[in-house]
């Protein structure tokens, strides 16, 4: 396959910490390799609106530490249609762009896959806090989101212990429970509720009641939003134990803030490798890291595969939550 000479980068879907680090690395890696680079504002919607601008070294200065995305992001219903996808490919060709790096989650990958089939060389970078993209151990933003959740749970534990109360903490994760799992394990939660594993709230309630009876001064339950609302879990616990947990919904605070060093490094490494693969003439790949090694998996395969849940880690959390 022929190599690219002019590439573009966009961020799509929900924002995640580390997207700016990825944009920075795409731009600077491309310039280092002698390529021209354009940034596309507002994701696929901006592509259809031809919101493209040239990027240079200075345009991505002082952003590696910033949350969100300087390119902004938006949902685009029009791009889900064949007509919208064809229009997107035509816009890229009109501007002489023969390679595209898409930073986002599953929906963003779907769009990149369609453009690849229309002859645009594409690379996907896993930018989502949910950690639900297969063929990579971690996604860009996941480490920061877990850190935010752990910090919040630590603070809640302080006040719960002072008042001898329990708390239900609802974190993000509609289809993937990784934020709940990792933050729950790291903060010593008594129960972790995720979409991938069946659970019995009545048994959790009775277990919490017994713990308080035996002198425990607090109780923390972490629940992924895809399971059900934290309010519903709290009502069920109160019904079966007499304990009335306080509910905290962390919501979009998990997406904001400065990315951890892990997310900055992950984003930089993945972006540099994506540009390298584009320059080689490769296309239609989702870039990831598995056990320290780069992966470049066909986007077709990625979007049709569900990431396996880490049952070993979940079982460890359960063993330690007694």
The per-residue pLDDT for range 146-180, each reduced to its tens digit, is: 999 999 999 999 888 888 788 999 999 999 999 99
Q: Could you report the per-residue pLDDT of 84-96, keeping only the tens digit for each?
A: 999 999 999 999 9
| Residue 105 known to bind ligand | yes
Q: Could you report the per-residue pLDDT of 41-84, keeping only the tens digit for each?
A: 999 999 999 999 999 999 999 999 999 999 999 889 999 999 99
| Residue 67 known to bind ligand | no
Cα distance between residue 203 and residue 75, in whole Å: 40
Q: Is 130 known to be catalytic?
A: yes
For 36, the token pair is 């021209």
Give the pLDDT mean for 195-202.
94
Residue 215 has pLDDT above 90, yes or no: no
Catalytic pick from 130, 132, 178, 263?
A: 130
Helices (H), 137-249: 142-163, 178-186, 201-213, 230-241
Q: Could you report the per-residue pLDDT of 254-290, keeping only the tens digit for each?
A: 999 999 999 999 999 999 999 999 999 999 999 999 9
| Residue 298 known to bind ligand | no
- Predicted local confidence at residue 208, as pLDDT: 87
| Residue 27 known to bind ligand | yes
- Predicted local confidence at residue 2, as pLDDT: 57
C-alpha dist (Å) from residue 141 to 49, 102, 112, 166: 27, 15, 20, 29
Neighbours of 206 (CB within 10 A): 14
Residue 242 has pLDDT above 90, yes or no: no
| Residue 42 known to bind ligand | no
What does pTM read for this prediction?
A: 0.95
Residue 1 has pLDDT above 50, yes or no: no
For 77, the token pair is 């219903």
Cα distance between residue 264 and residue 312, in whole Å: 27
pLDDT band (50, 70, 90) for residue 243: confident
């Amino acid at each position: 396959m022929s190599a690219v000479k002019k590439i573009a980068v966009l961020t799509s879907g929900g924002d995640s910490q580390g997207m700016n680090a990825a944009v920075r690395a795409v731009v600077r890696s491309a310039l280092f390799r002698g390529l021209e680079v354009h940034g596309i504002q507002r994701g696929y919607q901006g592509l259809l609106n031809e919101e493209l601008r040239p990027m240079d070294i200075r345009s991505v200065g002082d952003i590696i530490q910033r949350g969100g995305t300087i390119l902004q992001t938006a949902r685009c219903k029009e791009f889900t249609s064949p007509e919208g996808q064809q229009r997107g490919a035509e816009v890229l060709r009109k501007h002489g762009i023969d390679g595209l790096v898409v930073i986002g989650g599953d929906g963003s990958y779907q769009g990149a896959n369609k453009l690849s089939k229309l002859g645009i060389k594409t690379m996907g970078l896993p930018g989502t806090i949910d950690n639900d993209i297969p063929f990579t151990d971690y996604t860009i933003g996941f480490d920061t989101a877990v850190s935010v959740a752990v910090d919040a749970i630590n603070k809640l534990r302080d006040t719960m212990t002072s008042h001898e109360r329990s708390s239900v903490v609802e974190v993000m994760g509609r289809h993937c429970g990784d934020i709940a799992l990792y933050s729950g394990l790291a903060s010593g939660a008594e129960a972790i509720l995720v979409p991938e594993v069946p659970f019995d709230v009545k048994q959790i309630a009775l277990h919490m009641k017994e713990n308080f009876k035996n002198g425990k001064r607090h109780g923390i339950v972490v629940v992924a939003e895809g399971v059900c609302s934290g309010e519903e879990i709290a009502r069920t616990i109160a019904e079966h134990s007499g304990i009335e947990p306080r509910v905290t919904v962390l919501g979009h605070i998990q997406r904001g803030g400065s990315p951890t060093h892990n997310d900055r490094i992950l984003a930089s490494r993945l972006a540099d490798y994506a540009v390298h693969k584009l320059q080689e003439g490769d296309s239609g790949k989702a870039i990831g890291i598995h056990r320290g090694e780069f992966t470049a998996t066909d986007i077709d395969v990625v979007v049709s595969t569900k990431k396996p849940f880490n049952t070993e880690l979940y079982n460890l959390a359960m063993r330690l939550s007694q």
